[in-house]
Structure 1
């Protein structure tokens, strides 16, 4: 399969062991001019080199895909390509898999049963700094957060993560639920500047996903 090269587009790779699902996703994504599908794989095995060569921005992965287990694949991707965005799309709605996917570094989690209606919207939300989730998944995540918060002890003093003043302002906006565009508008800086600050924040806080970033910021009184 050949792919159109567009330097201004969001470069997307797909991992799914179901040929029909792969073809459906390619068709849906190719309907958007700003999306560029740069790779389609039936397995995540030996994929890191390909993702690096195609300069992939976003990976859409079924956590049941063949090759490495889905969770291990997410962990490996975030370890070797830390700024790549990962969108999980699956038939599984199991609490443990959702929790493990988020901890591993996934930035979004949607169910396959609504791909035609939700895939483009989810990818756009990720591109704008959001964390898309199917409604039933979001409810499970909220319940997990409520449960986990019961086990956190208050932190008297925030650790020194050496964030600059501007990085703290950006982080505060993200913690409040604003996406990158909204943050840029509020702080009067460009979208790309927000992205640059966020890369530095991820590094300093040693986190691999937006969910982990927000949780750590709140739990440790960073902002």
Structure 2
């Protein structure tokens, strides 16, 4: 049984996502938010001045992302647990987070109760993961990611992003894609944003056109 209260740091650059997370945690008197940070640099600059039990770590942040930050946290403060809290459920990010030393991997769509239970479970030595993530981890163990020599030709797209592009090519809406891949609408939008950024486009038609011409889909 962990001592109370549990002191938490949150690394999150999106103010709406941060507000949603704080709202979920506010239901539980044994969870105390000791600090929040906009990115990895800010977190590392402050954390040595605080008594922190666990960090809720976003992945995509400006400057220093959550995976890079997790590597440094585990090196400098190995006693602190790191629970990834992200919109990304693709194999690449899951694999990189685990290799960085993350103690668990949650999606932001988790309920307040599941988030709280995951924090307690992680501090008790468990490896808490959202539904579906554990299955992907087992798949990664069975079929490890292989480095791609043609990453530049693939524009750095992840396997999940290519899956989304294929569904977009077939005319599926965001809602239909979310249902097909068992992910949230918000997660679909985040993946689409990253696809557009990597392909340097701003429309579905342009994204699908580039992917088709490069035989990605």
The two structures have a TM-score, normalised by structure 2, of 0.61
Work out the CA distance in 2 between the residues paired with 1:109 and 1:51. Answer: 21
* 1:59-93 CA distance string (max 9 Å, x none): 00111122202211110111111111001011111
Contact 2:104 2:122 in 1 (8 A): yes
Could you say which residue in structure 2 is the equivalent of 1:107? 103
Could you say which residue in structure 2 is the equivalent of 1:37? 33
- 2:60 pairs with 1:50: no
Unaligned 5+ segments in structure 1 are 1-6, 149-223
Count of residue pairs the alignment pairs up? 142
Work out the CA distance in 2 between the residues paired with 1:70 and 1:120. Answer: 20
Work out the CA distance in 2 between the residues paired with 1:99 and 1:83. Answer: 22
Could you say which residue in structure 2 is the equivalent of 1:199? none
Q: Given the superposition, is the C-alpha separation of residues 115 and 41 from structure 1 closer, same or farther in structure 2, using an over 3 Å criterion?
A: farther
Q: Given the superposition, is the C-alpha separation of residues 34 and 116 from structure 1 closer, same or farther in structure 2, using an over 3 Å criterion?
A: closer
Could you say which residue in structure 1 is the equivalent of 2:66? 70
Deviation for aligned residue 1:47: 2.2
Q: Which region of structure 1 is more displaced relative to structure 2, 42-51 or 88-97?
A: 42-51
Work out the CA distance in 1 between the residues paired with 2:123 and 2:70. Answer: 18
* 1:76-129 CA distance string (max 9 Å, x none): 111111111001011111101101100101010011122435211211211221
The two structures have a TM-score, normalised by structure 1, of 0.60
Contact 2:58 2:66 in 1 (8 A): yes
- 2:91 pairs with 1:90: no
* 1:129-185 CA distance string (max 9 Å, x none): 11110121110001112235xxxxxxxxxxxxxxxxxxxxxxxxxxxxxxxxxxxxx
Deviation for aligned residue 1:31: 1.6
Contact 2:24 2:112 in 1 (8 A): yes
Contact 1:30 1:37 in 2 (8 A): no
Could you say which residue in structure 2 is the equivalent of 1:135? 131
- 2:10 pairs with 1:18: no
Work out the CA distance in 1 between the residues paired with 2:50 and 2:14. Answer: 22
Q: Calculate the aligned-residue CA RMSD, in Å.
A: 1.6
Structure 2 counterpart SS, 1:134: coil
- Of 140, 146, 154, which residue of structure 1 is paired with 2:142? 146
Work out the CA distance in 2 between the residues paired with 1:75 and 1:115. Answer: 27
Unaligned 5+ segments in structure 2 are 145-217
Work out the CA distance in 1 between the residues paired with 2:112 and 2:30. Answer: 17
